[in-house]
């Protein structure tokens, strides 16, 4: 008996992608084994964190890395690191930022809600957020600026030039934190901007247990880890999460992963295009993530999405304007075939 039967949970087909309310992603048997291996054991957690830092550096090219509870936690802890550094008294004081630089600059449009506002995640550190229209005139001369947080996401209507943003902030001696939760497959590109920290999710495309990964400059990562003595204590990772991250990093093969997922989408689009009433095409990620999605043009996208969600099993897809978008990364061959079968049934002659 599996978890669905034992706990009375609904089996679903998740074509929305690495979507938190649907469980994000699936871990491999090797990652599951690493978690199971860690659970019954005692370890020196600081040693385990050191091994994770080495593994993250080897896999991404970062100088160092740290694991925290999730990407939302990574935002808070990274901002706290920018404010308090490794100073024990400051770390203990936060979120009371009295006597510290505490202004965090965020470009307009980079304030988003993913179930929690990313601005709230910044404020949890005790920082004061300034959402600005133009970065060129954003930084104050009062030396209050402690960090600039920028977002990389397909949700952004107008992505900014990350390299230019980092250079501009550095001209004012302000460190940059890039929130790229879903961007693990292109983390090297984000690190190349020179940002002090790049924050990515472990449980999305890396498919580790739930974890936020902080990658970047050695001293900044050291300050992130130091926050375990303060507000980071409630955002720390478990031993099994760290072990799972290390295992997932050992399995990661970026180029092969990209090729495999592109082939899966191309095959799905070919089959979907054969279904009467459906036009299908491939849709590259607008933020530059090397993930291609399938987009379906149908007569009534809302009706079709509702019918898919009401099916057995329910199939959850994304809306893309007046079309439907499907991400297939987390799906196996049986689930892809089930989607095609449901599409055929929903758009067949009796449904017109």
pLDDT digits (tens, 9 = 90+) for 196-211: 999 999 999 999 999 9
User: In the predicted model, is pLDDT for residue 138 greater than 80?
Assistant: yes
User: In the predicted model, is pLDDT for residue 154 greater than 90?
Assistant: no
How high is the pLDDT of residue 157?
A: 59
User: In the predicted model, is pLDDT for residue 142 greater than 80?
Assistant: no
Of 31, 343, 47, whose CA–CA distance to 207 is shortest? Answer: 31
| Rounded distance between C-alpha atoms, residue 117 and residue 123, angstroms | 10
Kindly state the DSSP code that residue 133 receives in the 8-state scheme.
Answer: S
Average pLDDT over residues 59-80: 98
Average pLDDT over residues 77-83: 98
User: In the predicted model, is pLDDT for residue 351 greater than 70?
Assistant: no
User: In the predicted model, is pLDDT for residue 298 greater than 90?
Assistant: yes
Q: Is the pTM of this model over 0.75?
A: yes
Domains annotated for the chain, with CATH where assigned, are 3-23+253-351 (3.90.1150.180), 42-251 (3.40.640.10)
User: In the predicted model, is pLDDT for residue 350 greater than 70?
Assistant: no
Share of the chain above pLDDT 90, in %: 88
How high is the pLDDT of residue 22?
A: 93
User: In the predicted model, is pLDDT for residue 170 greater than 90?
Assistant: yes
pLDDT band at residue 349 under the 50/70/90 scheme: low
| pLDDT tens per residue across span 279-292 | 999 999 988 899 99
What six digits make up the tokens of 186?
A: 């292109």
How high is the pLDDT of residue 287?
A: 83
62 close to 216: Cβ distance less than 8 angstroms: yes
Q: Which comes out higher in pLDDT, residue 59 or 109? A: 59
What six digits make up the tokens of 285?
A: 């990620």
Q: Which of 23-37, 70-84, 300-314, 335-349 has the lowest mean pLDDT?
A: 335-349
How high is the pLDDT of residue 143?
A: 82
Q: Which comes out higher in pLDDT, residue 294 or 113? A: 294
Distances (CA, A) of 17 to 34, 59, 189, 326: 24, 23, 22, 8
Distances (CA, A) of 140 to 99, 103, 174, 335: 17, 9, 10, 53
User: In the predicted model, is pLDDT for residue 352 greater than 60?
Assistant: no
Give the phi and the psi of residue 258 in degrees, each rounded to 5: -60, -45
| Rounded distance between C-alpha atoms, residue 201 and residue 70, angstroms | 7
How high is the pLDDT of residue 320?
A: 86
Share of the chain above pLDDT 70, in %: 98
216 close to 176: Cβ distance less than 8 angstroms: no
CA angle at 151 for the pair 222 and 233, rounded to the nearest 5°: 35
């Amino acid at each position: 008996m599996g978890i669905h039967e034992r706990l009375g949970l609904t089996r679903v087909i998740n074509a929305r992608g690495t979507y938190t309310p649907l469980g994000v992603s699936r871990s491999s048997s090797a990652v599951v084994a690493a978690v199971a291996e860690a659970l019954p054991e005692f370890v020196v957690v600081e040693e385990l964190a050191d091994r994770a830092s080495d593994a993250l550096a080897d896999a991404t090219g970062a100088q160092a890395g740290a694991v925290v509870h999730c990407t939302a936690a990574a935002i808070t802890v990274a901002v706290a690191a920018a404010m308090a550094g490794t100073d024990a008294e400051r770390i203990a004081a936060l979120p009371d930022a009295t006597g510290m630089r505490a202004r965090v600059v965020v470009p307009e449009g980079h304030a988003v809600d993913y179930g929690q506002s990313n601005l709230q995640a910044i404020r949890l550190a005790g920082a004061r957020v300034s959402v600005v229209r133009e970065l060129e005139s954003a930084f104050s001369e009062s030396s209050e600026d402690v960090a600039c947080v920028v977002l990389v996401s397909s949700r952004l209507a107008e992505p900014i030039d990350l390299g230019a943003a980092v250079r501009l902030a550095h001209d004012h001696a302000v460190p940059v934190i890039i929130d790229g939760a879903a961007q693990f497959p292109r983390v090297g590109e984000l690190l190349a901007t020179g940002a002090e920290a790049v924050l990515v999710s472990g449980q999305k495309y890396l498919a580790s247990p739930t974890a936020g990964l902080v990658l970047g400059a050695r001293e900044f990562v050291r300050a992130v880890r130091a926050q375990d003595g303060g507000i980071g204590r409630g955002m720390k990772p478990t031993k099994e999460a760290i072990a799972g991250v290390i295992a997932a990093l050992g399995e990661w093969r970026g180029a092969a992963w990209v090729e495999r997922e592109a082939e899966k989408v191309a095959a799905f689009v070919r089959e979907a295009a054969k279904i009467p009433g459906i036009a299908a095409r491939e849709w590259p990620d607008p933020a530059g993530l090397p993930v291609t999605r399938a987009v379906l043009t149908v007569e009534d996208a809302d009706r079709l999405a509702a019918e898919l969600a009401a099916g057995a099993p329910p199939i959850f897809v994304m809306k893309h304007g007046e079309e439907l978008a499907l991400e297939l990364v987390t799906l196996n061959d049986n689930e892809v075939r089930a989607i095609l079968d449901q599409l055929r049934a929903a758009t067949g002659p009796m449904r017109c």
